[in-house]
Amino acid sequence: MRINKFLAECGVASRRAADEMIRSGRVSVNGKKMTEPGYDVVVENDAVCVDGRRVKPVSHYTYLMIYKPKGCICSRSDELGRKTIYDYVKLEKKLDCVGRLDYDSEGLLLLTNDGELLHRLTHPSYEIPKTYVIKIEGGITEDELKAWRKGLKLDDGTVTAPAQVSLLGTEDKLCRLEVTIREGKNREIRRMAEALGKNVVFLKRTALGELKLGGLGRGASRFLTAKEVSYLKKLTKD
């Protein structure tokens, strides 16, 4: 088994994050530092360590949905002393975020120690739909909505994939929109709005595929059902 996949199955990190750990010299196999992500591990025999501690495949996976509140980050700790989502999750198990939401955003996040599923859910090739409800200042024209649906050129010159965008209503000089995207660019929704000269004042992720936030309160969490886990695995099946 490739070492990055092995580390993912140990719940250490996603495959991409594992590759970086390997390249930075944090991983050893049988006492020898490993810097080649393509190395094959003999699961039954090899002793794999990360930062000097041996790791083994997870025997039981945990899948958690949390309603991330605005005003916290998705990291385990913060040098600025800000709250993290882990302040709301009282579990001893090491769970990693499936994707992220920025400090000023809220809504659905998944946490798991299933590194393989995490890798698939966040890999761009699977094009997992993510749905958001946002509020922007001012109005929006039908031409601007059409441009958003077609794809927008961002500040770094990249062009976004087509999105589903619908106007839900207007209130207090704000427009309320529902946006579904299949990419995972950093702060993509906000940057798409900025490309149209719009300022997002509220952003909430409401769904990942058909998995919905539902009536979960801010900061609250729940375990996924077996049916929901099965759905996510089918969604990312090769």
Q: What is the CATH number of the domain that holds 113?
A: 3.30.70.580
142-200, pLDDT tens digit by residue?
999 999 999 999 999 999 999 999 999 998 899 999 999 999 888 999 999 999 999 99
The verdict on whether 102 is a catalytic residue reads yes
| Residue 154, helix vs strand vs coil | coil
CATH number at residue 35: 3.10.290.10
Pair 180, 200 in one domain = yes
Tell me which of 102, 104, 114, 156 is the catalytic residue.
Answer: 102
Q: For the sheet with 27-29, list strands across it.
A: 32-34, 27-29, 48-50, 53-54
Pair 145, 30 in one domain = no
34-55, pLDDT tens digit by residue?
888 888 999 888 999 999 999 9
Domains of the chain: total: 3
Pair 47, 102 in one domain = no
109-154, pLDDT tens digit by residue?
999 988 888 888 988 888 999 999 999 999 999 999 999 999 999 9
Q: Is the pLDDT of residue 238 over 80?
A: no
Q: Are the beta carbons of 167 and 149 closer than 8 angstroms?
A: no
Q: Of 101, 158, 93, 95, which Cα lies nearest the Cα of 134?
A: 101
Pair 138, 201 in one domain = yes
Q: Domain limits at 199?
A: 129-208
